Amino acid sequence: MTGSAASHVLPVLPVGIPWVLAAVLALLDGRRRWVGLLAAGGLAASLASLFWLASVVLREGPVSTVAGGWPENVGISLRADALGAAFALVSVGVILASLLYELALGVRWRAFPALVLLVAAGLTGLFLTGDVFNFYVFFEISMTASFILTGYREADYQVRGAFVFAVVNLLGSVVFLIGIAALYSITGSLDMRIIAQRTDVLEPVSVIAVATLIFAAFFLKLGLFPFHFWLPAVYVGSHPPVAAILSGALANIGGYGLLRFGAGIMPRELELGSTAVLVLGSASIIIYGALQAISRRDTSEVMAYSAIGQAGYVILALGVAGPVGYAAAVVYSVVNSLNNGIVFLAAGLRGPLVGGAFAVGAFSIAGVPPAAGFVAKIAVFKAAIAEGPLLASLALVALVFVGGALSFLYSFQVYQRRFMRPGDGGKPGPRAARLLVAALAALVVLLGIWPEPLVSLGEAAAAVLAGGSG
């Protein structure tokens, strides 16, 4: 296979591998260890293909193909660029870590490995598609599989959480579908590149109405204030690997969607609403993130409100806009996914090694060096200083600093309750699970010490957005 032919096949592999494997494993009993290992092997192959794809994209630029050899506007159009590759890499990585964690504990539900693969297939398809309708299809695939996962282990509170998740996200799906239909009505196309070109010359009023619908759907998915109400109800009591998937992978739909549709397709409308975006981000960081987290005692509830607050930083960077702001939003999204994966997985275990890993995740959330969260916070600092008037920039810098300090406070409270009180923790948990969490923490430290690959990926993604959706 020639290099050119290989590059056109590459976008299909990260989507196709988990998709085909999920269809096969759905017929098998996922409680058998070899079934789970096969699913983990498929995710590892998907992750490896994403690394290959990212290297090609960063070296040669975006790669486009139509799956199955169908015509351009008929088949599943895939268009991989730096933005999609960044989100796909971190999401599949967190999903793989969560599956390995559950394998170490012992899978108790036959459908679990297949559902995890479906989430991965839906997310990678969503991040790599160049078509807004296919975006919606992959969106629904990942959401449906995630809805079933929220009821894993079938406790009463998990069933209630699954119901809330289903209702809220069904609402988000309907709003998003209406927005897509309206977008097609005013542009006459489903191709993201063509839509970006046409929205730029259309009457602002019609585009603003469409943008409002689409942005609201992603705000809901991200759990941003005032759409945050559902998130604690779903996260509280969730099985640790499920919570890690929801917060470290599925939540990326919101950040990615706002970047792709806002900065990439409708940047004018995003700029018009930048003040509102900054206000919502600020409220999410301080009021409905940090302060609510400090007032809670249940670990999963604290981490749920923390997720709301950390999403606020992504929105803050997005509201600042410009290449520096977009790069900061990407960097923060990647680091936030890893942080959430660490703290939710670590919360289900005990022991000094896990406590150390949780501390790394907590330091990263607070932006304390040498964790990668420090790099992410610095990126937001740079965005705040580089764009806008001096007074507004200083206010944003102060907000980031105060939010980080409050994050450190509630994270320390959780650490104290969870890992510093003898006799309340039970068994440490499987050694493999503890080593896995420690490996994630080591990765976060490595990215903090050597941030160049992460920063370069963020800058490349921002360059894609500056060019209009890749």
Written as six digits, the tokens of 195 are 């839509």
pLDDT tier at 467 (50, 70, 90 boundaries)?
low
**Does 157 have pLDDT greater than 70?**
no
Other C-beta atoms lying within 10 Å of the C-beta of residue 160:
16
Contact 32, 113 (CB under 8 A): no
Query: Given this model, what pLDDT does residue 1 score?
Result: 45
CA angle, 190 as apex, 185 and 196 as ends, to 5°? 90
Q: What is the pLDDT of residues 237-252, one digit of tens each?
A: 778 899 899 999 998 9
Nearest to 469, CA basis, from 208, 203, 83, 14: 83
**Does 372 have pLDDT greater than 80?**
yes
- Helices 352-366 and 372-386 sit at what angle, rounded to 10 degrees? 0
Lowest mean pLDDT among 52-56, 100-104, 230-234, 365-369: 230-234
Contact 101, 341 (CB under 8 A): no
pLDDT tier at 389 (50, 70, 90 boundaries)?
low
pLDDT tier at 5 (50, 70, 90 boundaries)?
low
Query: Given this model, what pLDDT does residue 75 score?
Result: 61
**Does 439 have pLDDT greater than 50?**
yes
Which residue would you say has higher pLDDT here, 287 or 407? Answer: 407
- Helices 132-149 and 156-187 sit at what angle, rounded to 10 degrees? 180
Q: 143-158 as b/e, with b when 16 or more CB fall inside 10 Å?
A: bbbbbbbbbbeeeeeb
Query: Given this model, what pLDDT does residue 398 score?
Result: 81
pTM: 0.92
In one letter, which amino acid is 219?
A: F
Name, of 71-75, 211-215, 438-442, the range with top average pLDDT.
438-442
Name, of 150-164, 169-183, 230-244, the range with top average pLDDT.
169-183
Lowest mean pLDDT among 125-129, 396-400, 451-455: 396-400
Query: Given this model, what pLDDT does residue 6 score?
Result: 55
Q: At 51, give phi and psi (nearest 5°).
A: -60, -45
**Does 2 have pLDDT greater than 80?**
no
Average of per-residue pLDDT across 216-228: 82
**Does 236 have pLDDT greater than 80?**
no
pLDDT tier at 172 (50, 70, 90 boundaries)?
confident
Written as six digits, the tokens of 392 are 């507004």
Q: At 129, give phi and psi (nearest 5°).
A: -80, 150
Average of per-residue pLDDT across 88-114: 93
Name, of 130-134, 154-158, 236-240, 282-286, the range with top average pLDDT.
130-134
Average of per-residue pLDDT across 64-72: 65
Q: What is the mean pLDDT of the chain?
A: 85
Written as six digits, the tokens of 236 are 């509280």
pLDDT tier at 470 (50, 70, 90 boundaries)?
very low
Nearest to 361, CA basis, from 302, 315, 312, 278: 302
pLDDT tier at 90 (50, 70, 90 boundaries)?
very high
Alpha-carbon distance 423 to 417, whole Å?
A: 11
Contact 168, 230 (CB under 8 A): yes
Query: Given this model, what pLDDT does residue 348 score?
Result: 81
Tell me the C-alpha to C-alpha distance, in Å, between residue 368 and each of 292, 402, 445, 451.
21, 13, 11, 14
Query: Given this model, what pLDDT does residue 396 score?
Result: 77
Query: Given this model, what pLDDT does residue 427 score?
Result: 65
